Structure 1
Amino acid sequence: MTTRKLRAILLTISGTLFAAHLVGEVGIYAFDADKNWLLPFNMDREFNIPTLFSSSIMLACAYTLNEIKKVSEKHTSKDWGLLSKIFIFLAIDELFQIHEIFIIPDLRPYLSPALGSTWVIPYTALVIYLGWRFNKFLRSLKKQTRQKFLQSATIFLTGAVGMEVVGSYLVRSGNIRLHSIWYGSITGLEELLELLGLIMFLIALANYLIKKNGAIHLDVSIYI
């Protein structure tokens, strides 16, 4: 398995899931299809096929980051390890929608329509802090690797935060309805951008580790 083949496989699955999500949204809102059959492919729900796929990529990123930590220089090993833990948290959050704990309806009247999903406020603050925290670490990387990491983060955040803000604004300003094909398309695009960012990051990590180790070895044992 090469990183090029892996990227092609992951992109194909992502595109298929996005198409299935759109078909489901059209089926529900245009043809009154049974939601129970289509929810497993809804990219805006928790603990279904898209979220399992997304969280699996996050866990793969966490694993690869931990492997890089083992072969990295002492002064950067803590940074690789912290990134690995962050991706484990993101995988759990993706599965169980932990960020929705920070949605506080009572705050909405005092905020812009774009901030209807109030979780974007603490998470954006956390992103800014982490950007400051990893600034020195990013500067220690080679230019090409640093650019790939920043590009993948930009794509992921455009989906996770940017599209969430767009969707909230359009719904709360009355431009679209919450339960509609339009909002479903926005949430689908949000998740697709997240997947594209994650895939780019995973491939960049894999290539980085391969340059360090020559290959990535996975050993799986089953005991009966």
Structure 2
Amino acid sequence: MARRARDPIAIGLVALTSLVAIAGACAEIGGYVLGWPDALVELVALSFEANVPTWYASALLVLASAALVLCAERAPRDRGAWLALAAIFAFASLDEAIEIHEHLGGLFEGRGVLYFSWVIPGALVVVLLALAFGRFLLRLPVIDRRRFVLAAVIFVSGALGMELPLGWWTERAGDDNLVYGMLDWVEETLELAGTTTFLLALRARLMREHEA
């Protein structure tokens, strides 16, 4: 059997995500340890907003939304579910750009690991989405289901899971220190990795359907 040629787009996507993550880690260390200029740190550090990593994360989510629309066109039975996911990812892209979820924190007074109290409604949303798309997920081919679940676990581990230690540390030491920066870096890197994994899974599905 001939070996399948490597996918240059997939390789490039993984390389870009890795580059953004590595540059972000270097910026955190450079800013707090090596005294790099603030302007450079704020441009590429993952703990800052409205910069290169924010744009990249938002772009990944938009690409995933577009890929989900393509999947919907090729799956008449579950078209509604695919389009609903596309809408969710489009909203997630908007949220990444303007931080809508941060305003949910004012609904609760959080302390300790729940210092960033938006994780409470955020966790509820995750549970509701899992219930809403459970049957759809079970109807997918095993390979797609495993890849989608893996992507979701990676993303949620960052978006919600890492907010707990980050909140605990922020309450005690604030957000202007290297530990905060690196905890935030882990969170954002997991989100980027999860979105990249999902986008690659969608691309693999579309390529498989095209070759069928």
TM score, norm. by length of structure 1: 0.86
Query: How far apart are the structure 2 equivalents of 1:34 and 1:198?
Result: 30
> Is residue 117–residue 164 contact of structure 1 (8 Å, CA) maintained in 2?
yes
Query: How far apart are the structure 1 equivalents of 2:6 and 2:56?
Result: 18
| Structure 1, 159-168 or 12-21: larger mean CA deviation | 12-21
Unaligned runs of 5+ in 2: none
Aligned counterpart in structure 2 of residue 16 of structure 1, from 14, 19, 26: 19
Which aligned segments of 4 or more residues in structure 1 are displaced greater than 6 angstroms? none
Query: Within the alignment, does 1:73 sit opposite 2:72 as a pair?
Result: no
Aligned counterpart in structure 2 of residue 202 of structure 1, from 199, 203, 210: 199
Unaligned runs of 5+ in 1: 216-224
Q: Per-residue displacement from partner, 1:7-26 (whole Å, max 9, x unpaired)?
A: 32222222222222222222
Query: How far apart are the structure 2 equivalents of 1:33 and 1:25?
Result: 9
Query: How far apart are the structure 2 equivalents of 1:159 and 1:6?
Result: 25
Shift of 1:114: 0.7
Alignment of 1:1-224 (within 5 A): 4-74=7-77, 76-104=78-106, 107-108=109-110, 112-172=111-171, 174=172, 176-214=173-211
> What letter matches 1:88 in structure 2?
A
> What letter matches 1:167 in structure 2?
L
| Structure 1, 163-172 or 51-60: larger mean CA deviation | 163-172
Change in 2 beyond 3 A, CA 1:105/1:131: closer
Change in 2 beyond 3 A, CA 1:86/1:195: same
Change in 2 beyond 3 A, CA 1:105/1:182: farther
Give the percent of matched residue pairs that are identical in Structure 1 and Structure 2.
27
Q: Per-residue displacement from partner, 1:156-208 (whole Å, max 9, x unpaired)?
A: 00011111112112332x3x542111110111111111111111111111111
Q: Report the secondary structure of 2:85's partner residue.
A: helix
Change in 2 beyond 3 A, CA 1:3/1:60: farther
Shift of 1:152: 0.5
